[in-house]
Structure 1
Amino acid sequence: MTGKRNWIACQLGAREHYAIPRALESEGRLRRLLTEAWVPPGSLWGNLRRSLRERHHSEIPAERVRSCTGRAVGFEMRLKARGHGGWEEILARNDWFQRQALGWLEKELPEAEAVDERPTLFSFSYTAREPFRWAKKRGWRTILGQIDGGLGEALHMKEICRKYSESSSAPSSAPVSYWEQWQEEWELADMIVVNSEWSRKLLAGEGVPKEKMTVVPLAYRSPEGSRDFVRAYPQKFTAWRPLRVLFLGQVTVRKGVLELLEAARRLEGLPVEFWMVGPVLLPVPEVLKGLRNVRWRGAVPRGQTVEFYREADVFLFPTHSDGFGLTQLEAQAWKLPVIASLHCGRVVASGQNGLLLPEVSGRAIEEAIRMCLEDPARLAAWSCKADDLSEYGLERLTKRLKDF
């Protein structure tokens, strides 16, 4: 079944593996994907820059894409040469991409309006203002994909980081103009897609109208082999076979790492070890750095994360704030129970496929891990209910987009 090709998706980067344009294309509704880099297999750019090799998806035909890979590479080289970093780099990249998008939109205008008098423009947050201004002048419909909790999340994290002044600085020193532009984005949007009730709560707290917002979870496709994977637990955890707790992501205050390490300190001497997989982006306090039950794995290539999901016993996601938290779905795909905070997408049904923390604290994490230590059969039961991800399939996303 196909409809009018009256949607244009504007996307900087490969967020969600291009799930929105893929869903639109599957229904014959995608007119164009506007993105800075598109690198099909065998492309020269993929050979020259390894980081660009995933900037492509086979489910989106090349004729549906407008990109400027060469210009994007040149722009990034100029940024590096000028020594730009931090917010200066983010703002420059966002502004540059919006200028590219406006040029593409002008070229699309005649044919797009010939198909539909009121085409739909979708854009992710922080790169939507200029395209939305352009679209609203022409009477188009605008849909904003809000990737996080916006200013509400920034303020929330500022409060969290005040408690850890020695381990981190405030996470957001974004200039006022950044948030002013973001406010204009959501004001220009006819609809706003958010990925979790947590984000919706934060956004509503900053004045975003609730009636504009629709919660649409991230789309995810389980990897090959995960469906037939069999997870086994011992009858009892011992020093020879300890409980293996996996943390996978950036090691930052935002992700609840300091509370995690405090829980690890409290659990020293028990048969449990914590696997920390990801880049360390904060100074770890000396009292926590040498914990004997913590294994620091560092950053690993994305393709190697599977072995950690397969070998761990439980996945720990004690985030202070995430727009969703895709690693929860990656863990569940491999039948790995999840212990998560309340500050992200709701993947966990507490007591069924994992556990929800009542708060992000060392004590709360400790109690959750003790529960797992004392009863491995509980983990086995959670694992059996951990791989039904039909709620997050691309087909479900496609159905939700039909309702817009």
Structure 2
Amino acid sequence: MNVVLTHPTGNANVRAVLAALVKAGALAEFDTTLATDPTAGWLKLLPGSVRNELLRRTFPAPLDKIQTHPFREVARIALPKLGFKQLVRHEQGWASIDAVYQEFDRLTARRLPKLAGQEKVTAVYAYEDGALSTFKQAKKLGLTCVYDLPIAYWELGRKLMFEEADRLPAWAATLGGGIQDSAAKLERKTQELELADIVVGPGSFVMDSIPAWASDKQTVMAPFGSPITTAPRRTLASTTNRPLRVLFVGSMGQRKGLGDLFEAVKLLNRPDLELVVMGSPLAPMDFYRSQLASFTYEAGRPHDQVLALMRSCDVFCLPSIVEGRALVMQEAMSQGLPVIITPNTGGADLVQEGKTGFLVPIRSPEAIAEKLAWFLDNRNRIADMGNLAQAHAETYTWNGYGQTVVDALRAFHQKQDKPQRMAVQPS
């Protein structure tokens, strides 16, 4: 097995698959837009903000196994800072994230014939929105196409988002790409899935969203890993001497169920509850204050500071309508917070009911309010629940995630390579 892994920007789950492929000796090449050698001396000469941005583009693979296609991604990062925001406009801009993905996909596809010959490639592993050209070329070369679907398949996601726009029209503007994607973009997603031989997803919500017409695809469910933490265990005193701090982290839109959480807080109307919201606004702050005046807003910050904020809170709530598997759930649990989440977060397996938190249905402010009231009335149990949540989160590791994916790919190829025995009739 020899795999070309591709992703334009990289993230924690990409790095885990990359590390597992390297460990297994199964990486032919990793294609991305930007990659930085963290030991390079010239990094020290750059301004701190630029240096930190580049250090986010480091990957656990030998540099000679990494191929970069940087031009349009550099433009996407730089142009808004120079005042050219129109050039990164959703789908339409020359340097939009969609344009970056599509050009990256085309450039990767062009490399495949050479790689297939030199590196004896057997499979390509690509992600939603950046796989179509790569998969088309891979099929011509007889390579296995592995499709990573990090969020629910578009047909289900779009259906749920349009329902949200009708249910909570005031929040429709915060739904973003879920209802704005063009027909051409949706068709590319459909073709990507059609060409896939294997589909990888992070949880049952994503896997269950795969349409019936693609039921013949080999599927691999691999839950994401949790951050390694040194957070201390919770104590009773740390959760009972102030208002209950309920934390929401994520983009501030109704895809994440923020409107339902606001409504739940209004239903309770309890002075001993403080809602802390950290994330990127998708509407003017005046809009959010018109929906709920009394919440504490926290701006985005470096990851270690996010974890510190989590430790200052008591309960984490994410009542999402559509997700893949929100990593922030396991991050919050790793810092000792029990959770209130919906099955559509992709993290139903994280909830041991009444022990690590509670599972609530989507679109139910009443159910959220009921669980928040339970925490308010049972402050003495929060520390123990937080410690159970932390211990449960620790059972999900990035090494385990990457190994699950690589083991599944190896098993698929061994099955494909196994010679078929022909039945011989006796003469």
TM-score (norm 2): 0.84
AA aligned to 1:126 is D
Is the 2:252–2:279 Cα contact (8 Å) retained in structure 1?
A: yes
Is 1:355 aligned to 2:323, yes or no? no
- Once structures 1 and 2 are overlaid, which stretch shifts more, 253-262 or 214-223? 214-223
With over 3 angstroms needed to count, the CA separation of the structure-2 counterparts of 1:278 and 1:40, relative to structure 1, is same
1:376 corresponds, among 374, 379, 403, to 379
With over 3 angstroms needed to count, the CA separation of the structure-2 counterparts of 1:235 and 1:109, relative to structure 1, is closer
Write out aligned runs for 1:7-26 (5 A): 7-16=3-12, 18-26=15-23
| % identical aligned pairs | 22
Is the 1:357–1:365 Cα contact (8 Å) retained in structure 2?
A: yes
Is the 1:277–1:300 Cα contact (8 Å) retained in structure 2?
A: no
Is 1:212 aligned to 2:225, yes or no? no
Is 1:222 aligned to 2:228, yes or no? yes
Is 1:403 aligned to 2:408, yes or no? yes
The alpha-carbon deviation at position 230 of structure 1 amounts to 2.1
Q: Deviations over 1:57-95 (max 9, x none)?
A: 3x3221221113356314655684763401222332222
Write out aligned runs for 1:158-307 (5 A): 158-169=162-173, 171=176, 172-204=179-211, 207-209=213-215, 211-223=217-229, 225-226=230-231, 229-234=232-237, 237=240, 241-282=242-283, 284=287, 287-291=290-294, 294-307=295-308
Query: Which structure's residues are more often helix, by fraction?
Result: 2
Q: Deviations over 1:312-363 (max 9, x none)?
A: 1111111111100100111111121111111022222222211111333221
SS of 1:166's equivalent in the other structure is helix
1:28 corresponds, among 22, 25, 31, to 25
Show the counterpart of 2:420: none
Is the 1:121–1:140 Cα contact (8 Å) retained in structure 2?
A: yes
Partners in 1 of 2:4 and 2:334 — Cα distance? 31
With over 3 angstroms needed to count, the CA separation of the structure-2 counterparts of 1:82 and 1:167, relative to structure 1, is closer
SS of 2:108's equivalent in the other structure is helix
With over 3 angstroms needed to count, the CA separation of the structure-2 counterparts of 1:245 and 1:104, relative to structure 1, is same
How many residue pairs were aligned?
387
Is the 1:222–1:330 Cα contact (8 Å) retained in structure 2?
A: no
Partners in 1 of 2:245 and 2:85 — Cα distance? 44
RMSD: 2.4
Show the counterpart of 1:51: 53
The alpha-carbon deviation at position 217 of structure 1 amounts to 1.3
Partners in 2 of 1:345 and 1:269 — Cα distance? 30
Partners in 2 of 1:173 and 1:323 — Cα distance? 19
Show the counterpart of 2:412: none
The alpha-carbon deviation at position 192 of structure 1 amounts to 0.4
AA aligned to 2:355 is Q
Write out aligned runs for 1:337-352 (5 A): 337-346=338-347, 347-352=350-355
- Once structures 1 and 2 are overlaid, which stretch shifts more, 340-349 or 315-324? 340-349
- Once structures 1 and 2 are overlaid, which stretch shifts more, 29-38 or 162-171? 162-171
Is the 1:313–1:337 Cα contact (8 Å) retained in structure 2?
A: yes
AA aligned to 2:25 is G
AA aligned to 2:371 is A
TM-score (norm 1): 0.88
The alpha-carbon deviation at position 101 of structure 1 amounts to 0.9
- Once structures 1 and 2 are overlaid, which stretch shifts more, 366-375 or 156-165? 156-165
Is 1:157 aligned to 2:149, yes or no? no
Show the counterpart of 2:132: 129
SS of 1:167's equivalent in the other structure is helix
Partners in 2 of 1:78 and 1:281 — Cα distance? 21
- Which sections of structure 1, spanning at least 5 residues, go unmatched? none
